Amino acid sequence: MNHETPEGKRLVEDFSLEALRGGDRAEFARLVESYSARIYRLALKMLNNPQDAEDVLQDTFLKAFRGLHNFDGRSSLSTWLYRIAANEALMFLRRNKHIIVSLDEPQETDDQTEGEPMQVIDWCCLPEEELMSSEARAVLDKAVEALPHNLRVVFLLRDIEGLSTLETGEALNLSEMAVKTRLSRARLRLREMLTGYYGERLAHQRQERKNAG
């Protein structure tokens, strides 16, 4: 949200752009305080390693501090920070890519359709405590981890960080169509992986009921 104060100072999401650009450290500390939790969460889910996520968190704000004078305010500050963080995380993954990762990560193009087999099991009826158990949460995390980087980053920005399609496109230099395509593929794959787990839980629950009855 960008607007001007009565004194004509430009505010971007309640931060003074002049102060930030002018190197005001108190204002920058406020910015770090406001966004660090979200940037850290993105980095952690991208990299699955607290130490690497911390490096990305620090590099993101170091780059932001150095680059603030170039920030033109066309995108929001949060989108701009997500853009830096996503780039840092993707660069980190590329730098540390080893053979196993590259075998798991065939090059994908956006015009591919999702042609994988679909498991059709109605697991939505499972109780909430089963769907959100600590075991289930670990499965949710593992499923995100198994996504190729280009799908993972889109899914995290859209569905976890809550950026719009347009903002995600701005953060990743992608067209809105590419964002939608990647989000669709990420969600379908996650659904497939969760169906494997929840389908088993459902079968287990039914078996227990049968044994009890």
Partner 1 sequence: MNDKTCHELLNSLSAYIDGELGQDVCAQIESHLQGCENCRIVVDSLRKTVYLYQATSEPGKVPQDVHERLFRCLDLDEFLGKGS
Give the footprint of partner 1 on this chain (CB under 8 A): 25-26, 28-30, 32-34, 36-38, 40-41, 50, 54, 57-58, 61-62, 65, 113-115, 117-118, 120-124, 131-132, 136-137, 140, 144, 159-160, 165, 180-181, 183-184, 187-188, 190-191, 194-195
User: CA torsion sign, 160 to 166 to 68 to 5?
Assistant: negative
3 three-class SS: strand
How far apart CA 57 and CA 61 sit, in angstroms, is 7
Closer Cβ to partner 1, 14 or 102, answer by number: 14
Closer Cβ to partner 1, 34 or 76, answer by number: 34
Nearest approach in angstroms of CB 38 to partner 1 is 7
Q: Provide φ and ψ at 211, rounded to 5°.
A: -65, -40
2 three-class SS: strand
Closer Cβ to partner 1, 45 or 83, answer by number: 45
Burial of 144 (0-12, 13-18, 19+ CB in 10 A): buried
Nearest approach in angstroms of CB 45 to partner 1 is 8
Closer Cβ to partner 1, 101 or 160, answer by number: 160
